[in-house]
Amino acid sequence: MPYDPGPDVIQVVRAPKGGPVRGTYRAFGETLRGLRTTLGRWVEGPHTMQYPEEKTPVYPRFRGRHKLHRFEDTGLEKCVGCSLCAAACPADCIRVVAAENTPENRVSAGERYAAVYEINLSRCIFCGYCEVACPFDAITMGHDYEMSDYNRSDLIFTKEMLLAEPLERTPLRSAGE
């Protein structure tokens, strides 16, 4: 029985054969085409982001370093110390110690407030589950991504650090960019 591969045969495009003259011409022609291509890249100009001076803009939904929020009118913290974020955290990097609000010392709008609120950013995986779990939108993922430090202990962010406005705002990507 003769070998018949049937309709599975695919036409293969092979490089043109050719003698030494044609080969030489092809080599030089293709070389010139390559040179034109690279020069075209020069004309396009660099696409480099000069990083420390010029920061990469982020998308609005970018999940960067966390932020804790206050009410804008009263200045009270939104966090009520419920620890739902700590429960939701898969990396187990959030530590919340709640305390009762008193009339003399009113910190949050609810019954309790977070006396200690620490996020260990060296463990955080930036999944954003804490943001989803929070019933009061007290914690959100911010836009900062420059969090490198020299010590592990410096990466444990306390409540004050998370509440504070970042010194430098990360640029936001404009529409269509």
Judged by CB under 8 A, does residue 19 bind another protein? no
Token pair 């591969």 in the structure block, residue: 5
**154-157 contacts: CB < 8 A, separation 24 or more?**
155/120, 155/121, 155/122, 156/118, 156/119, 156/120, 156/121, 156/122, 157/65, 157/66, 157/118, 157/119, 157/120, 157/121
Output 7 or 19, the one with its CB closest to another protein.
19
CB 60 within 8 A of CB 172: yes
CB of residue 47 to another protein, shortest distance in Å: 4
Among 24, 56, 74, 158, binds another protein (CB under 8 A): 24
> Binding string to another protein for residues 117 to 136, with x set by CB under 8 A, is what?
--------------------
Question: Taking CB under 8 A as the rule, which mask of x and - marks residues 32-71 in contact with another protein?
Answer: --xx-xxx-xx-xxxxx-x---------------------
Amino acid of residue 111: E
- Which residues lie across from 74 on neighbouring strands? none
Within 13 Å and on the Cβ side, how many CA atoms surround 13? 0
Q: Does 158 bind another protein (CB under 8 A)?
A: no
* Residue closer to another protein, measured from CB, 51 or 150: 51
Calpha distance 161→142 (Å, rounded) = 13
Q: How far is the CB of 58 from another protein (least distance, A)?
A: 22
Which residues form the interface with another protein (CB under 8 A)?
20, 24, 27, 31, 34-35, 37-39, 41-42, 44-48, 50
